[in-house]
Chains A and B, each alone.
Chain A
Amino acid sequence: MTSEPAIPDRLNDLLADRATVGLTAAEADELSTLLTRWPHVDPNEFDRAAAALSLAGDPDPVPVPPDLMAKLEAAAAAHFARPAEPRRPRRAVVYWAVGGWACAAALLVGLLHLQFGRTAPTVAQKRDRLAADPTAARYASAAKPDAAAGNVVFSAAKQEGYMELRGMTPNDPTKSQYQLWVVDTGRPFKEPVDGGVFDVNPDGTALVPVRSPLTLKAPAVFAVTVEPPGGVVVSEGGKEGRFVVAMTPAGAP
């Protein structure tokens, strides 16, 4: 006659602790080991019990502030993002594929810079010029202390826009890059448009043009996520800290 071995108290203790106060790394390792010895144990039963107890306490839902809801919607849009049409592959791939042309282009850009660099307007100057256009729309993140913040000026008529960020965490471009997404009116919620990949300056600021491969009609949200170097075509979402900041029409509730 065979029977399942009794569950040791230690296993129940660890599961109960995980469901209420969490475990140390050593305890988590110990739990994993015990669970392999008692594979018939459902490791989530205590978590479900604790969740049911949380609900048994009748937590009355609280109103979600509009700025938080905007962030939640923007993060959802970034998570469920998928390409509206075939777009560029990751830049890293491009570099390998067109390395020779890139070198030539770099030389050309350098020469052009030497000849025209002093007279070409900077991104800041372009942004200021667009900001003076009364038809350009303005977007801003919700004011929140000690958090990343940003603003966007965008002209649908000119298909030109610029985003300025501050309070960002400087990134190591070899490990991650920031990517801008645009949730455009008339386009499915889950299909935000890629607005370009960029890096943040060491002082936590960035001023970048909005680079959209598609015509943007009336952007509702500009959202920034952290992605692998070169950006992604489809944001996978889910990783901690992936969503960073969202900017909605200035003056909107």
Chain B
Amino acid sequence: MTPDSTPPAPLLPRVAAGDPTAVRECLARYGGLVLALARRFLGNATDAEDVTQDVFVELWKHAARFDPACASEPTFVTMITRRRLIDHKRRAGRRLSPEPLPEAVPERSNPSLFAEVDGRDDVARARLALGELRDDQRNVILLAVDDGLTHEQIAERTGLPVGTVKTHIRRGLLRVRELLTGPAAIGRASA
């Protein structure tokens, strides 16, 4: 396997057609990713497994909606995962666990095997956007996106006013959105 290898063929179109082999491959390809995201976001292994089951039911249900022109397959899977995680956290009314799982706080440094596998442009652009942000802005948006902290929790942790936290998150998302959708930015991102 090489880092710049061609991304694996999407599975969701075959899943939408009810291909049992694709369903198994999808579980094998994304099961570990979904569980990792859930553990980090929820900080609770049991809840993470429960939500993982919900995520895949949602994925089977919405597989036909996957459009490679809008996002890579891992991004689509992650988007569905995040929606379920946010929904679960809101309904549970939970706050960040004071003792997060050790594996829920992975290093953000080395490119992961998963990143190498599919060579996703949208993720590269997101990294580019993160690189443009100041450290405090980057920290705020990652606390929100990766750890699922509320504005108030981020404010408490960083010492920033809640309004500033909201601004950092919105600006960060806007910049990523620009890079994901704007043709000029795409050229810049791939440069």
Contacts and interface: CB of A to CB of B under 8 A. Distances in A.
Contacts of A188: 20
Given A60-B106, A68-B52, A76-B56, A47 B79 contact: yes
Contact of B173 (A50, A57, A65): A50
Interface string A3-31: 00000000011001111111000000000
B56 A20 contact: no
B115 A55 contact: yes
A242 B57 contact: yes
Contacts of A100: none
A75 interface: yes
Contacts of B146: 53-54, 57, 59
Interface in B72-100: 74-76, 78-79, 81-83, 86-87, 89-90
Given A44-B79, A238-B60, A52 B125 contact: yes
B123 interface: yes
B31 interface: yes
B23 A45 contact: no
A76 B53 CA distance: 10
Contact of A50 (B33, B70, B112, B145): B145
B60 A79 contact: yes
B3 interface: no
Chain B binding surface SS class = helix
Contact of B70 (A20, A48, A189, A238): A48
Interface residues of B, number: 74
Contact of A61 (B32, B90, B108, B126): B32
A54 B82 contact: yes
Interface in B1-47: 18, 20, 23-24, 27, 31-33, 35-37, 39-40, 46
The size class of the interface chain A forms with chain B is 35 or more
A71 B54 CA distance: 11
Given A48-B70, A60-B106, A75 B123 contact: no
Interface in B142-176: 142, 144-146, 148, 150-151, 166, 169-170, 172-174, 176
Contacts of A54: 37, 78, 82, 145-146
Contacts, number: 198
A154 interface: no
Contacts of B53: 68, 71-72, 75, 243
A53 B142 contact: yes
A60 to B, nearest CB: 5
B57 A243 contact: yes
A190 B142 CA distance: 39
A52 B75 contact: yes
B177 A79 contact: no
A80 B129 CA distance: 39
Given A47-B79, A52-B122, A80-B60, 11 more contacts: A13-B166, A45-B180, A48-B70, A53-B129, A55-B74, A60-B112, A61-B32, A61-B33, A65-B49, A79-B60, A237-B57
22 contacts: A16-B174, A21-B144, A44-B70, A46-B177, A49-B174, A50-B82, A50-B173, A51-B71, A53-B126, A53-B146, A54-B78, A54-B82, A57-B146, A58-B110, A60-B106, A61-B31, A71-B53, A72-B53, A189-B20, A237-B61, A240-B54, A242-B57
